[in-house]
Chains A and B, each alone.
Chain A
Protein backbone atom coordinates (compact mmCIF):
# COMPACT_ATOMS: atom_id res chain seq x y z
CA UNK A 1 0.00 0.00 0.00
CA UNK A 2 1.29 3.47 -0.87
CA UNK A 3 2.45 5.50 2.11
CA UNK A 4 0.23 8.49 1.30
CA UNK A 5 -2.88 6.34 0.90
CA UNK A 6 -2.05 4.52 4.11
CA UNK A 7 -1.57 7.78 6.00
CA UNK A 8 -4.88 9.14 4.74
CA UNK A 9 -6.69 5.93 5.73
CA UNK A 10 -5.17 6.06 9.22
CA UNK A 11 -6.23 9.71 9.56
CA UNK A 12 -9.79 8.68 8.75
CA UNK A 13 -9.57 5.79 11.23
CA UNK A 14 -8.37 8.19 13.91
CA UNK A 15 -11.41 10.32 13.18
CA UNK A 16 -13.51 7.29 14.10
CA UNK A 17 -14.29 5.56 10.81
CA UNK A 18 -13.81 1.81 11.21
CA UNK A 19 -14.64 1.21 7.55
CA UNK A 20 -11.32 2.89 6.66
CA UNK A 21 -9.50 0.24 8.70
CA UNK A 22 -10.54 -2.56 6.35
CA UNK A 23 -8.05 -1.84 3.52
CA UNK A 24 -5.27 -1.62 6.12
CA UNK A 25 -6.24 -4.96 7.68
CA UNK A 26 -6.44 -6.59 4.27
CA UNK A 27 -3.07 -5.14 3.23
CA UNK A 28 -1.22 -6.42 6.28
CA UNK A 29 -2.99 -9.64 7.22
CA UNK A 30 -1.04 -11.84 4.77
CA UNK A 31 2.37 -10.83 6.08
CA UNK A 32 0.97 -10.71 9.62
CA UNK A 33 -0.34 -14.24 9.39
CA UNK A 34 3.02 -15.53 8.13
CA UNK A 35 4.79 -13.82 11.02
CA UNK A 36 2.29 -15.14 13.55
CA UNK A 37 2.49 -18.64 12.10
CA UNK A 38 6.25 -18.57 12.35
CA UNK A 39 5.99 -17.49 15.97
CA UNK A 40 3.10 -19.70 17.07
CA UNK A 41 3.56 -22.69 14.77
CA UNK A 42 -0.13 -23.37 14.16
CA UNK A 43 -2.88 -21.68 12.23
CA UNK A 44 -5.50 -21.35 14.99
CA UNK A 45 -3.25 -19.55 17.47
CA UNK A 46 -1.76 -17.47 14.66
CA UNK A 47 -5.19 -16.22 13.59
CA UNK A 48 -6.11 -15.44 17.21
CA UNK A 49 -2.89 -13.49 17.66
CA UNK A 50 -3.45 -11.64 14.38
CA UNK A 51 -7.02 -10.67 15.30
CA UNK A 52 -5.97 -9.49 18.75
CA UNK A 53 -3.12 -7.49 17.27
CA UNK A 54 -5.41 -5.72 14.79
CA UNK A 55 -7.87 -4.89 17.58
CA UNK A 56 -5.05 -3.61 19.82
CA UNK A 57 -3.64 -1.57 16.95
CA UNK A 58 -7.08 -0.02 16.37
CA UNK A 59 -7.36 1.01 20.01
CA UNK A 60 -3.81 2.40 19.92
CA UNK A 61 -4.32 4.39 16.71
CA UNK A 62 -5.02 7.67 18.58
CA UNK A 63 -1.42 7.49 19.84
CA UNK A 64 0.03 6.45 16.47
CA UNK A 65 2.53 8.91 15.00
CA UNK A 66 1.49 9.55 11.40
CA UNK A 67 5.10 10.25 10.42
CA UNK A 68 5.93 6.58 11.01
CA UNK A 69 5.02 3.76 8.63
CA UNK A 70 2.20 1.55 9.86
CA UNK A 71 3.85 -1.81 9.00
CA UNK A 72 6.72 -2.03 11.48
CA UNK A 73 4.52 -0.51 14.21
CA UNK A 74 1.83 -3.11 13.61
CA UNK A 75 4.30 -6.00 13.41
CA UNK A 76 5.72 -4.87 16.76
CA UNK A 77 2.23 -5.11 18.28
CA UNK A 78 1.76 -8.52 16.65
CA UNK A 79 5.10 -9.80 17.88
CA UNK A 80 4.27 -8.67 21.43
CA UNK A 81 0.87 -10.33 21.14
CA UNK A 82 2.47 -13.63 20.08
CA UNK A 83 4.96 -13.41 22.92
CA UNK A 84 2.19 -12.66 25.44
CA UNK A 85 0.18 -15.64 24.23
CA UNK A 86 3.17 -17.94 24.41
CA UNK A 87 4.10 -16.62 27.86
CA UNK A 88 0.63 -16.84 29.31
CA UNK A 89 0.51 -20.49 28.21
CA UNK A 90 -2.80 -19.90 26.47
CA UNK A 91 -0.90 -21.30 23.54
CA UNK A 92 2.45 -22.88 22.97
CA UNK A 93 4.49 -23.28 19.84
CA UNK A 94 2.86 -26.26 18.23
CA UNK A 95 3.16 -27.40 14.65
CA UNK A 96 0.70 -30.23 14.82
CA UNK A 97 -1.53 -28.94 12.06
CA UNK A 98 1.01 -26.87 10.21
CA UNK A 99 1.56 -29.10 7.20
CA UNK A 100 -2.15 -29.56 6.61
CA UNK A 101 -2.89 -25.86 6.73
CA UNK A 102 0.03 -24.44 4.80
CA UNK A 103 1.45 -24.55 1.34
CA UNK A 104 5.20 -24.48 1.56
CA UNK A 105 6.94 -22.54 -1.10
CA UNK A 106 7.81 -24.98 -3.90
CA UNK A 107 11.51 -25.77 -3.94
CA UNK A 108 12.63 -25.46 -7.54
CA UNK A 109 11.03 -27.70 -10.17
CA UNK A 110 11.41 -31.00 -8.35
CA UNK A 111 9.20 -33.73 -9.73
CA UNK A 112 11.11 -36.70 -8.27
CA UNK A 113 8.98 -38.14 -5.44
CA UNK A 114 12.11 -39.16 -3.55
CA UNK A 115 13.47 -35.62 -3.66
CA UNK A 116 10.10 -34.17 -2.66
CA UNK A 117 9.97 -36.55 0.29
CA UNK A 118 13.52 -35.64 1.32
CA UNK A 119 12.62 -31.96 1.29
CA UNK A 120 9.47 -32.60 3.30
CA UNK A 121 11.54 -34.44 5.92
CA UNK A 122 14.09 -31.62 5.93
CA UNK A 123 11.31 -29.07 6.43
CA UNK A 124 9.93 -31.08 9.32
CA UNK A 125 13.34 -31.25 10.95
CA UNK A 126 13.72 -27.48 10.58
CA UNK A 127 10.31 -26.84 12.13
CA UNK A 128 11.20 -29.05 15.06
CA UNK A 129 14.47 -27.17 15.42
CA UNK A 130 12.65 -23.82 15.33
CA UNK A 131 10.32 -25.10 18.03
CA UNK A 132 13.24 -26.02 20.26
CA UNK A 133 15.35 -22.95 19.63
CA UNK A 134 13.22 -20.70 21.88
CA UNK A 135 11.01 -17.68 21.31
CA UNK A 136 13.73 -15.02 21.25
CA UNK A 137 15.85 -16.77 18.63
CA UNK A 138 12.84 -17.93 16.65
CA UNK A 139 11.36 -14.46 16.26
CA UNK A 140 14.49 -12.93 14.74
CA UNK A 141 14.90 -15.92 12.39
CA UNK A 142 11.26 -15.69 11.31
CA UNK A 143 11.53 -11.96 10.69
CA UNK A 144 14.70 -12.33 8.63
CA UNK A 145 14.37 -15.62 6.77
CA UNK A 146 10.63 -16.21 6.49
CA UNK A 147 9.53 -12.58 6.20
CA UNK A 148 12.63 -11.17 4.52
CA UNK A 149 12.72 -7.93 6.51
CA UNK A 150 15.80 -5.74 6.37
CA UNK A 151 17.88 -5.15 9.51
CA UNK A 152 16.42 -1.66 10.03
CA UNK A 153 12.87 -3.06 9.91
CA UNK A 154 13.73 -5.89 12.30
CA UNK A 155 15.28 -3.37 14.70
CA UNK A 156 12.07 -1.35 14.68
CA UNK A 157 9.81 -4.36 15.16
CA UNK A 158 11.91 -5.82 17.98
CA UNK A 159 12.51 -2.35 19.43
CA UNK A 160 16.27 -2.83 19.60
CA UNK A 161 19.18 -0.72 18.26
CA UNK A 162 19.96 -1.25 14.58
CA UNK A 163 23.44 -2.52 15.42
CA UNK A 164 22.10 -5.31 17.65
CA UNK A 165 20.21 -7.13 14.88
CA UNK A 166 23.30 -8.76 13.35
CA UNK A 167 24.39 -9.98 16.75
CA UNK A 168 20.92 -11.37 17.54
CA UNK A 169 20.87 -13.14 14.19
CA UNK A 170 24.33 -14.61 14.74
CA UNK A 171 23.34 -16.07 18.11
CA UNK A 172 20.01 -17.31 16.75
CA UNK A 173 21.72 -19.03 13.84
CA UNK A 174 24.30 -20.57 16.17
CA UNK A 175 21.51 -21.79 18.45
CA UNK A 176 19.68 -23.28 15.48
CA UNK A 177 22.87 -24.99 14.36
CA UNK A 178 23.35 -26.45 17.84
CA UNK A 179 19.78 -27.77 17.92
CA UNK A 180 20.15 -29.27 14.45
CA UNK A 181 23.36 -30.99 15.55
CA UNK A 182 21.56 -32.38 18.60
CA UNK A 183 18.95 -33.75 16.23
CA UNK A 184 21.70 -35.28 14.07
CA UNK A 185 20.67 -33.20 11.08
CA UNK A 186 23.50 -33.03 8.57
CA UNK A 187 24.78 -29.70 7.40
CA UNK A 188 27.78 -28.94 5.25
Chain B
Protein backbone atom coordinates (compact mmCIF):
# COMPACT_ATOMS: atom_id res chain seq x y z
CA UNK B 1 0.00 0.00 0.00
CA UNK B 2 1.29 3.43 -0.84
CA UNK B 3 0.19 6.90 0.16
CA UNK B 4 -0.79 7.64 -3.39
CA UNK B 5 -3.79 6.28 -5.15
CA UNK B 6 -5.52 7.06 -8.38
CA UNK B 7 -8.69 8.99 -7.59
CA UNK B 8 -10.72 6.72 -9.91
CA UNK B 9 -9.54 3.63 -8.00
CA UNK B 10 -10.31 5.36 -4.75
CA UNK B 11 -13.86 6.14 -5.87
CA UNK B 12 -14.39 2.67 -7.31
CA UNK B 13 -13.55 1.29 -3.87
CA UNK B 14 -16.16 3.43 -2.20
CA UNK B 15 -13.96 6.41 -1.34
CA UNK B 16 -15.48 9.81 -0.59
CA UNK B 17 -14.46 13.16 -1.97
CA UNK B 18 -14.83 15.97 0.50
CA UNK B 19 -14.23 19.35 -1.09
CA UNK B 20 -14.08 21.02 -4.51
CA UNK B 21 -10.29 20.93 -4.74
CA UNK B 22 -10.05 17.16 -4.76
CA UNK B 23 -12.80 16.64 -7.32
CA UNK B 24 -11.65 15.73 -10.88
CA UNK B 25 -13.14 17.80 -13.73
CA UNK B 26 -15.50 15.27 -15.27
CA UNK B 27 -16.67 14.02 -11.93
CA UNK B 28 -17.43 17.62 -11.07
CA UNK B 29 -19.47 18.07 -14.25
CA UNK B 30 -21.65 15.08 -13.33
CA UNK B 31 -21.87 16.13 -9.70
CA UNK B 32 -22.92 19.66 -10.63
CA UNK B 33 -25.59 18.22 -12.89
CA UNK B 34 -26.95 16.14 -10.03
CA UNK B 35 -26.94 19.13 -7.68
CA UNK B 36 -28.47 21.46 -10.28
CA UNK B 37 -31.25 18.93 -10.93
CA UNK B 38 -31.97 18.79 -7.23
CA UNK B 39 -31.88 22.55 -6.69
CA UNK B 40 -33.98 23.32 -9.76
CA UNK B 41 -36.53 20.66 -8.86
CA UNK B 42 -36.89 21.93 -5.31
CA UNK B 43 -37.20 25.55 -6.44
CA UNK B 44 -39.66 24.67 -9.18
CA UNK B 45 -41.61 22.41 -6.82
CA UNK B 46 -41.78 25.09 -4.14
CA UNK B 47 -42.79 27.76 -6.66
CA UNK B 48 -45.59 25.58 -8.03
CA UNK B 49 -46.87 24.78 -4.56
CA UNK B 50 -46.72 28.39 -3.43
CA UNK B 51 -49.50 29.14 -5.89
CA UNK B 52 -51.89 26.68 -4.26
CA UNK B 53 -51.42 27.71 -0.62
CA UNK B 54 -54.52 29.88 -0.77
CA UNK B 55 -56.50 27.08 -2.36
CA UNK B 56 -56.15 25.07 0.86
CA UNK B 57 -59.64 24.47 2.27
CA UNK B 58 -58.66 25.32 5.86
CA UNK B 59 -55.94 26.94 8.00
CA UNK B 60 -54.32 23.59 8.73
CA UNK B 61 -54.01 22.76 5.05
CA UNK B 62 -52.60 26.18 4.26
CA UNK B 63 -50.03 25.83 7.03
CA UNK B 64 -49.01 22.44 5.65
CA UNK B 65 -48.68 23.84 2.13
CA UNK B 66 -46.75 26.91 3.29
CA UNK B 67 -44.45 24.69 5.29
CA UNK B 68 -43.76 22.53 2.25
CA UNK B 69 -42.91 25.64 0.24
CA UNK B 70 -40.60 26.92 2.98
CA UNK B 71 -38.81 23.62 3.51
CA UNK B 72 -38.34 22.85 -0.18
CA UNK B 73 -36.84 26.30 -0.68
CA UNK B 74 -34.60 25.74 2.31
CA UNK B 75 -33.52 22.35 0.93
CA UNK B 76 -32.67 23.98 -2.39
CA UNK B 77 -30.59 26.54 -0.52
CA UNK B 78 -28.58 23.88 1.28
CA UNK B 79 -27.48 22.24 -1.97
CA UNK B 80 -27.10 25.53 -3.85
CA UNK B 81 -24.60 26.57 -1.19
CA UNK B 82 -22.53 23.50 -2.07
CA UNK B 83 -22.69 24.54 -5.73
CA UNK B 84 -21.45 27.93 -4.59
CA UNK B 85 -18.33 26.27 -3.17
CA UNK B 86 -17.59 25.13 -6.71
CA UNK B 87 -17.88 28.69 -7.97
CA UNK B 88 -21.54 28.84 -8.96
CA UNK B 89 -23.00 32.33 -8.54
CA UNK B 90 -25.70 31.42 -6.05
CA UNK B 91 -27.52 34.76 -6.06
CA UNK B 92 -27.79 34.81 -9.80
CA UNK B 93 -28.68 31.15 -9.90
CA UNK B 94 -31.62 31.40 -7.54
CA UNK B 95 -33.21 34.11 -9.64
CA UNK B 96 -32.11 32.86 -13.03
CA UNK B 97 -35.25 30.97 -14.00
CA UNK B 98 -38.96 31.59 -13.80
CA UNK B 99 -39.48 28.74 -11.36
CA UNK B 100 -43.26 28.82 -11.47
CA UNK B 101 -43.41 28.44 -15.28
CA UNK B 102 -45.31 25.39 -16.42
CA UNK B 103 -46.33 23.72 -19.69
CA UNK B 104 -50.00 23.60 -20.68
CA UNK B 105 -51.91 21.09 -18.54
CA UNK B 106 -52.73 18.86 -21.51
CA UNK B 107 -49.07 18.26 -22.45
CA UNK B 108 -48.42 14.51 -22.62
CA UNK B 109 -46.09 12.77 -20.17
CA UNK B 110 -42.45 12.56 -21.13
CA UNK B 111 -38.94 12.87 -19.81
CA UNK B 112 -38.17 16.05 -21.70
CA UNK B 113 -36.82 18.75 -19.48
CA UNK B 114 -37.43 22.42 -19.90
CA UNK B 115 -34.77 23.96 -22.10
CA UNK B 116 -33.96 26.54 -19.48
CA UNK B 117 -33.34 24.67 -16.29
CA UNK B 118 -32.63 21.24 -14.86
CA UNK B 119 -35.86 20.55 -13.00
CA UNK B 120 -37.20 17.02 -13.27
CA UNK B 121 -39.66 16.74 -16.14
CA UNK B 122 -42.62 16.13 -13.82
CA UNK B 123 -42.22 19.68 -12.48
CA UNK B 124 -43.03 21.14 -15.89
CA UNK B 125 -46.70 20.28 -15.45
CA UNK B 126 -49.15 22.64 -13.78
CA UNK B 127 -51.23 21.88 -10.71
CA UNK B 128 -54.98 22.05 -11.09
CA UNK B 129 -56.41 23.11 -7.75
CA UNK B 130 -55.98 21.89 -4.19
CA UNK B 131 -56.85 18.19 -4.48
CA UNK B 132 -54.70 17.86 -7.59
CA UNK B 133 -51.77 19.48 -5.77
CA UNK B 134 -52.10 17.07 -2.85
CA UNK B 135 -52.21 14.08 -5.19
CA UNK B 136 -49.14 15.37 -7.02
CA UNK B 137 -47.41 15.90 -3.69
CA UNK B 138 -48.02 12.30 -2.67
CA UNK B 139 -46.93 10.79 -6.01
CA UNK B 140 -43.91 13.03 -6.24
CA UNK B 141 -43.09 12.98 -2.53
CA UNK B 142 -42.76 9.19 -2.59
CA UNK B 143 -40.63 9.45 -5.73
CA UNK B 144 -38.39 12.11 -4.21
CA UNK B 145 -37.79 9.91 -1.17
CA UNK B 146 -36.72 7.00 -3.37
CA UNK B 147 -34.39 9.30 -5.31
CA UNK B 148 -32.93 10.89 -2.18
CA UNK B 149 -32.35 7.54 -0.48
CA UNK B 150 -30.20 6.82 -3.52
CA UNK B 151 -28.51 10.21 -3.43
CA UNK B 152 -27.61 9.95 0.26
CA UNK B 153 -25.05 7.30 -0.80
CA UNK B 154 -23.31 9.66 -3.23
CA UNK B 155 -19.51 9.77 -3.05
CA UNK B 156 -19.36 13.56 -2.61
CA UNK B 157 -19.52 13.71 1.16
CA UNK B 158 -20.87 17.26 1.59
CA UNK B 159 -23.80 16.43 -0.70
CA UNK B 160 -24.42 13.10 1.02
CA UNK B 161 -24.58 14.93 4.35
CA UNK B 162 -26.83 17.67 3.02
CA UNK B 163 -29.23 15.03 1.69
CA UNK B 164 -29.14 13.19 5.00
CA UNK B 165 -30.34 16.40 6.62
CA UNK B 166 -32.97 17.00 3.93
CA UNK B 167 -34.52 13.52 3.83
CA UNK B 168 -36.63 13.77 7.02
CA UNK B 169 -38.35 16.93 5.75
CA UNK B 170 -39.08 15.38 2.37
CA UNK B 171 -40.43 12.23 4.01
CA UNK B 172 -42.66 14.42 6.11
CA UNK B 173 -43.97 16.18 2.99
CA UNK B 174 -45.12 12.83 1.60
CA UNK B 175 -46.79 12.08 4.96
CA UNK B 176 -48.54 15.45 4.93
CA UNK B 177 -49.82 14.64 1.44
CA UNK B 178 -51.20 11.32 2.60
CA UNK B 179 -52.91 12.97 5.58
CA UNK B 180 -54.36 15.54 3.23
CA UNK B 181 -55.73 12.83 0.95
CA UNK B 182 -57.33 11.02 3.90
CA UNK B 183 -59.24 14.22 4.63
CA UNK B 184 -60.18 14.82 1.01
CA UNK B 185 -61.42 11.25 0.60
CA UNK B 186 -63.47 11.54 3.79
CA UNK B 187 -65.15 14.54 2.23
CA UNK B 188 -65.94 12.46 -0.82
CA UNK B 189 -63.41 13.93 -3.24
CA UNK B 190 -62.85 12.06 -6.50
CA UNK B 191 -59.12 11.72 -7.05
CA UNK B 192 -59.11 9.35 -10.02
CA UNK B 193 -58.45 12.06 -12.61
CA UNK B 194 -55.51 13.51 -10.70
CA UNK B 195 -54.02 10.10 -9.94
CA UNK B 196 -54.24 9.15 -13.62
CA UNK B 197 -52.67 12.48 -14.57
CA UNK B 198 -49.70 12.43 -12.17
CA UNK B 199 -48.80 8.74 -12.03
CA UNK B 200 -47.22 8.49 -15.54
CA UNK B 201 -45.58 11.90 -15.20
CA UNK B 202 -43.85 10.99 -11.95
CA UNK B 203 -42.96 7.53 -13.31
CA UNK B 204 -41.15 9.21 -16.21
CA UNK B 205 -38.65 10.91 -13.89
CA UNK B 206 -36.88 7.59 -13.27
CA UNK B 207 -35.60 7.56 -16.86
CA UNK B 208 -32.62 5.29 -17.42
CA UNK B 209 -29.28 6.62 -18.55
CA UNK B 210 -27.20 4.90 -21.26
CA UNK B 211 -25.41 1.79 -20.03
CA UNK B 212 -21.87 3.11 -20.51
CA UNK B 213 -22.63 6.37 -18.76
CA UNK B 214 -24.32 4.52 -15.92
CA UNK B 215 -21.21 2.35 -15.54
CA UNK B 216 -19.08 5.49 -15.29
CA UNK B 217 -21.42 7.11 -12.77
CA UNK B 218 -21.40 3.94 -10.72
CA UNK B 219 -17.60 3.73 -10.78
CA UNK B 220 -17.47 7.29 -9.48
CA UNK B 221 -19.97 6.52 -6.75
CA UNK B 222 -22.47 9.04 -8.12
CA UNK B 223 -25.18 6.52 -8.90
CA UNK B 224 -25.95 3.09 -7.61
CA UNK B 225 -29.30 1.61 -8.65
CA UNK B 226 -30.69 1.86 -12.17
CA UNK B 227 -33.76 3.88 -13.10
CA UNK B 228 -36.00 0.84 -13.60
CA UNK B 229 -35.07 -0.47 -10.18
CA UNK B 230 -35.88 2.87 -8.53
CA UNK B 231 -39.12 3.17 -10.42
CA UNK B 232 -40.21 -0.29 -9.22
CA UNK B 233 -39.45 0.72 -5.65
CA UNK B 234 -41.48 3.90 -6.04
CA UNK B 235 -44.37 1.95 -7.62
CA UNK B 236 -44.39 -0.43 -4.66
CA UNK B 237 -44.57 2.45 -2.15
CA UNK B 238 -47.22 4.16 -4.23
CA UNK B 239 -49.37 1.00 -4.32
CA UNK B 240 -49.00 0.62 -0.55
CA UNK B 241 -50.11 4.22 -0.04
CA UNK B 242 -53.18 3.68 -2.23
CA UNK B 243 -54.05 0.56 -0.23
CA UNK B 244 -53.75 2.53 3.01
CA UNK B 245 -55.98 5.20 1.52
CA UNK B 246 -58.46 2.61 0.29
CA UNK B 247 -58.13 3.80 -3.31
CA UNK B 248 -57.58 1.09 -5.88
Q: Do A and B come from one complex?
A: no
A contact set with B: CB distance below 8 Å:
none
B contact set with A: CB distance below 8 Å:
none
